[in-house]
Amino acid sequence: MEFNSENFKKEVIEMSKTKPVLVDFFAEWCGPCKVQGPIVDELGKEIGDKATVGKLDIENSQDVAGEYGVMSIPTLLIFKDGEVKENMTGLREKGILKELLEKYL
């Protein structure tokens, strides 16, 4: 799923009240983000409807990145009950992301 400034509140904040949401903050020009992206996509397919997994391009949604203090990318945030529960910066393996996400199922 692609998140942006327009849909962030509905798709992330509101949705996280019923199930966890993982957001990958990235930019097209970021080398590590190009590695993290496919991992996040694969996790999204694997986790199915139990959680929402998506990405937010910081270049197109600088307001959201600023609101959550994203200073370096990739940054991965897990939201539950409308709040950030996990905050990770840098590359993360799928297994670690899945384990963290499953804590909030």
Domains along the sequence of the chain with CATH: 2-102 (3.40.30.10)
Q: Which of 30, 37, 44, 89 is catalytic?
A: 30
Q: Is 93 a catalytic residue?
A: no
Q: Which of 33, 47, 76, 77 is catalytic?
A: 33
CA distance 83 to 50: 18
Q: Is 33 a catalytic residue?
A: yes
Q: Could you tell me the pTM of the whole model?
A: 0.97
Using alpha carbons, select from 52, 51, 53, 55 the residue that is nearest to residue 70. Answer: 55
Neighbours of 43 (CB within 10 A): 20
pLDDT digits (tens, 9 = 90+) for 21-58: 999 999 999 999 999 999 999 999 999 999 999 999 99
pLDDT digits (tens, 9 = 90+) for 67-94: 999 999 999 999 999 999 999 999 999 9
At 86 the three-state DSSP class reads strand
